[in-house]
């Protein structure tokens, strides 16, 4: 707003759009720059010819003429630079408008003062009216991807309206802006990308050595938090390269919606270091680098520069790593967690939220902690990260040593039960839970391992949809009065089983949580309606981020992550407990995030 006062609305309304257009300074500046851009080459040519001629006919008069031409040339270049700077300032103002834009909620006076009168329909609406219209439009769309694209464009044009719509309809819209729909959006990101949208920073490995200069181009000051990915392991969809930008955007939307963090102080970043996925390299619409990913030395050198530049540019910035490959995620966390205020949501956030659900599940089974046996299908970064969090709970709550706690875990990967003597070289992170008490026995699949372990709890992070078959679920129900089954793989198609299958094959006795939301289940005999738990990281990472921002911590410690788990588990209300829920209802997400933040700040 320019702050100009008008004598009356009627007087200002007499101004025609044509008059305002003619007075548009920005348009004039653009025209002048075009003229200067055409003049400068001519001046340079003239200068060159005169300068060349001076060697042939040197004289004091010629020297004076050359000096005058130099001054004129410098003046023209200076003026062009100043005018381009004015254009840049105006463009930055245009960018910032998304944070103050109110659309049809602008008053008549605001429209006149900002030269918007006539560019917006006459009605002056309330925010509630706008939300009603947007929700009607969302619900009229036939596919979730269409809804995602619509909401993405709304977010890039009117943040106030977007987040009001999200907060008023959180449970309905979260599956659209994040999992499971964000998975499809990432796969098709290059095809649905809108060049008019400014979603975040894309930092290419080609910019190595100049990352700090790239950060200088971010038009807003002092972001509080960034979510950063290299797109190498997006959900359970593999290497998507630059298409992974949908994840930082979605995560930060949840930080804003669930924890109330200021949108202008969030920064989505995708590191474009290429992709090893030939599908994307051959896609003519792919918007990232068309090259394979670098070897580790170059990769880590680039990441070191990125982390150092972020910390130097914004010393209080909270950095969340997201969807890095299993081969790099643990190494990056170990490399940076004691140097920067950072955490890895796939490893620590997933572990924290699953531990929280398990704490409440353990309470319902009445089985002592020392008698629980945890079987994991999936031994990647997410699986091992979750297992470490649960192990730490056994240590703290069960008064065990790390070695004693570790003996309560068995991990299965694509080759079977992870043991030290099965004949293959184990990745470093798998050695944390590899078994050495198997007496030479090797178990090649889930079914045989389940019979060997007889677990009280079965957790899936394998991305193998449907691998928890009816027979597996029935066997878990035979072994346990209330079997704990957590199929956590995303998106929905990769979930190890459905809630319906888990309920049908356990006699409705299962304690269940999944990575993506399943619909409720109605028992055909009793007609009782049961609601599944969703072990979604949004229950903890907004609170972790909010607490870290408010306390301006130098590092995010393991104790802070563990505290977030216990804090979340303790947020269940009596009504939620009586309903058999393992996690609080999503409509309480702001309250939950605040409580988690408060606990980790202590």
Q: How far apart are CA 193 and CA 61, in angstroms?
A: 60
Cβ contact 390:374 at 8 Å? yes
Q: How far apart are CA 346 and CA 296, in angstroms?
A: 20
- Single out the catalytic residue among 178, 286, 340, 531: 178
HSE-up of residue 362 (Cα within 13 Å, Cβ side): 20
- Three-state DSSP class for residue 435: strand
Establish whether 251 is a catalytic residue: yes
Which of 376, 577, 341 lies closest to 496 in space, CA to CA? 376
Cβ contact 450:458 at 8 Å? yes
Q: How far apart are CA 510 and CA 487, in angstroms?
A: 12
- Dihedral (Cα; 327, 266, 388, 486), 10-degree rounding: -100
Residue recorded with tokens 């979260």:
174
Query: CB atoms < 10 A from the CB of 171, how many?
Result: 11
Give the CA distances from residue 83 to residues 37, 70, 74, in Å, rounded to whole numbers and listed in that order.
11, 20, 14
Q: How far apart are CA 20 and CA 4, in angstroms?
A: 15
Establish whether 148 is a catalytic residue: no
Quote the tokens at residue 142: 């036939």
Radius of gyration of the chain (CA): 29
Quote the tokens at residue 24: 């548009």
Q: How far apart are CA 571 and CA 567, in angstroms?
A: 7
- Single out the catalytic residue among 147, 193, 251, 562: 251
Alpha helices in 270-295 (DSSP H): 278-281
Residues in the chain: 602
Active site residues: 178, 251
């Amino acid at each position: 707003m320019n702050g100009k006062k008008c004598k009356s609305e009627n007087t200002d309304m007499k101004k025609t759009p044509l008059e305002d257009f003619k007075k548009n300074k920005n348009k004039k500046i653009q025209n002048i720059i075009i003229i200067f851009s055409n003049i400068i080459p001519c001046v340079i040519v003239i200068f060159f010819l005169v300068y060349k001629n001076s060697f042939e006919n040197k004289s004091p008069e010629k020297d004076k003429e050359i000096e005058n031409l130099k001054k004129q040339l410098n003046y023209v270049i200076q003026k062009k630079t100043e005018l381009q700077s004015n254009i840049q300032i105006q463009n930055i103002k245009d960018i910032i408008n998304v944070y103050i834009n109110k659309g049809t909620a602008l008053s008549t006076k605001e429209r006149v003062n900002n030269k918007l009168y006539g560019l917006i329909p006459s009605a002056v609406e309330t925010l509630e009216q706008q939300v009603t219209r947007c929700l009607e439009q969302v619900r009229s769309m036939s596919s979730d991807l269409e809804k995602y694209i619509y909401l993405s464009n709304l977010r890039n044009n009117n943040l106030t309206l977007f987040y009001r719509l999200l907060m008023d309809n959180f449970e309905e819209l979260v599956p659209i802006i994040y999992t499971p729909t964000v998975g499809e959006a990432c796969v098709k990101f290059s095809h649905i990308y809108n060049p008019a949208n400014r979603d975040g920073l894309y930092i290419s490995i080609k910019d190595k050595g100049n990352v700090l200069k790239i950060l200088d181009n971010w038009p807003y000051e002092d972001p509080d938090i960034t979510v950063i990915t290299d797109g190498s392991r997006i959900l359970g969809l593999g290497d998507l390269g630059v298409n992974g930008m949908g994840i930082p955007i979605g995560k930060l939307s949840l930080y804003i919606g669930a924890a109330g963090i200021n949108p202008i102080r969030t920064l989505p970043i995708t590191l474009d270091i290429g992709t090893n996925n030939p599908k994307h390299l051959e896609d003519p619409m792919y918007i990232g680098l068309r090259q394979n990913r670098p070897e580790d030395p170059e990769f880590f050198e680039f990441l070191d520069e990125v982390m150092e530049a972020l910390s130097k540019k914004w010393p209080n910035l909270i950095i969340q790593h997201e969807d890095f490959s299993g081969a790099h995620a643990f190494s990056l966390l170990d490399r940076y967690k004691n140097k920067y205020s950072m955490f890895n949501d796939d490893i620590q956030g997933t572990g924290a939220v699953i531990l929280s659900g398990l704490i409440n599940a353990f309470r319902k089974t009445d089985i002592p902690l020392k008698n629980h046996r945890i079987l994991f299908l999936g031994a990647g970064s997410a699986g091992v990260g979750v297992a470490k969090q649960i192990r730490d709970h056994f240590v703290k709550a069960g008064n065990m040593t790390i070695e004693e706690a570790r003996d309560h875990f068995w991990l299965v990967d694509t080759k079977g039960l992870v043991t030290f003597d099965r004949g293959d070289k184990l990745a470093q992170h798998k050695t944390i839970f590899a078994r050495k008490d198997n007496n030479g026995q090797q178990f090649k699949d889930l079914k045989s391992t389940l019979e060997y372990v007889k677990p009280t709890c079965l957790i899936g992070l394998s991305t193998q949809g449907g691998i928890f078959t009816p027979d597996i679920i029935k066997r878990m129900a035979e072994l346990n009065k209330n079997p704990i089954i957590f199929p956590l793989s995303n998106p929905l198609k990769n979930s190890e089983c459905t809630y319906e299958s888990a309920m049908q094959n356990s006699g409705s006795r299962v304690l269940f949580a999944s990575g993506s939301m399943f619909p409720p289940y109605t028992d055909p005999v009793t007609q009782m309606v049961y609601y599944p738990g969703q072990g979604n990281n949004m229950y903890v990472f907004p609170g972790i981020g909010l607490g870290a921002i408010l306390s301006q911590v130098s590092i995010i410690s393991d104790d802070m992550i563990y505290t977030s788990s216990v804090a979340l588990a303790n947020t269940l209300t009596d009504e939620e407990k009586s309903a058999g829920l393992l996690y609080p209802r999503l409509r309480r997400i702001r309250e939950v995030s605040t409580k988690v933040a408060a606990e980790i700040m202590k």
